[in-house]
Structure 1
């Protein structure tokens, strides 16, 4: 099977969350074959959860999101003080990208919860691009976006013991 660059994978996932399929973006044949984790469902906004409710999680999702958190959380003080080196931002991005790939490959959620997850994965992808120096955004802005995505995950998904991250 063809290897897909992580950026292309994340783009396809983000577009899938917006209601597109991998075929709509004229992506690589491997993406068109379904590696984009697209299940053909609409966005999470089509069926919002009742107030106070959160989507269920599975072990793969909880593990991946916890690992992303563990990559970011110890660096929050240095990020806040604007003292994190570019290589450290890149390391956070690499770990988060690796965990997103794990989540996409292993997470099995119902379609509506999966659609909600796609929105968060899209935010993580944008954060990774900035932290890796692959976008016009500053790496620090990417870290803040990642923090916000993790906090959105905690508001949206039922992950026992998950606590809001503070900058």
Structure 2
């Protein structure tokens, strides 16, 4: 599937208000969050795979690099747009490459939906662009609290 088409499919799935169960084979573009609330896996963090860890680490790196200039109000609309595009690119790569069990995938989609919403705000849709960066950092905080990602470095805010 082409990158824009895969991202469009993921966005369409994540925008559904009602849960949709995956078809018999596991696919990011066929499943949606089981609910809007993150949970743990019987008290433990959910497992991750290398593509997920790499993609989330890259998103964290993008946000860490942006935090200072955003906080100091030195981030331009073009930079917010570029940050949003970069984050969406990492999400697209995660969607294409990670192979997680359905229960983990459903929980991940909640975090990814939060990140996608944050990128919309970064692009100037629905609020102060800096608020989108804050929302993305909060989504990564939820990721850290619910997913087992050895070596994860929290994004300070």
Unpaired runs of 5+ residues, structure 2, are none
The total of aligned residue pairs comes to 153
Asked whether the 8 Å contact 1:54–1:156 carries over to 2, the reply is yes
Per the alignment, residue 103 of structure 1 pairs with 94
Change (3 A) 1:107 1:15: same
Per the alignment, residue 140 of structure 1 pairs with 130
Q: Give the structure-2-normalised TM-score.
A: 0.82
SS state of the match for residue 4, structure 1?
A: helix
- Which structure exhibits the higher relative contact order, with contacts defined as CA atoms closer than 8 Å and separated by 6 or more residues? 2
SS state of the match for residue 5, structure 2?
A: coil
Q: Deviations over 1:74-106 (max 9, x none)?
A: 111111222211111111111100011000111
The offset of 1:15, in angstroms, is: 3.6
RMSD (CA atoms): 2.8
How do 1:120-139 and structure 2 match up within 5 A?
Answer: 120-133=111-124, 135-139=125-129
Per the alignment, residue 50 of structure 2 pairs with 59
Q: Give the structure-1-normalised TM-score.
A: 0.78
The offset of 1:44, in angstroms, is: 7.6
Q: Deviations over 1:51-87 (max 9, x none)?
A: 3x10010011011111111111011111122221111
Distance (Å, rounded) in 2 between the aligned partners of 1:14 and 1:154: 20
Name the one with the larger helix percent: 1
How do 1:17-166 and structure 2 match up within 5 A?
Answer: 18-20=18-20, 37-39=29-31, 42-43=34-35, 48-51=40-43, 53-133=44-124, 135-166=125-156
Change (3 A) 1:16 1:92: same
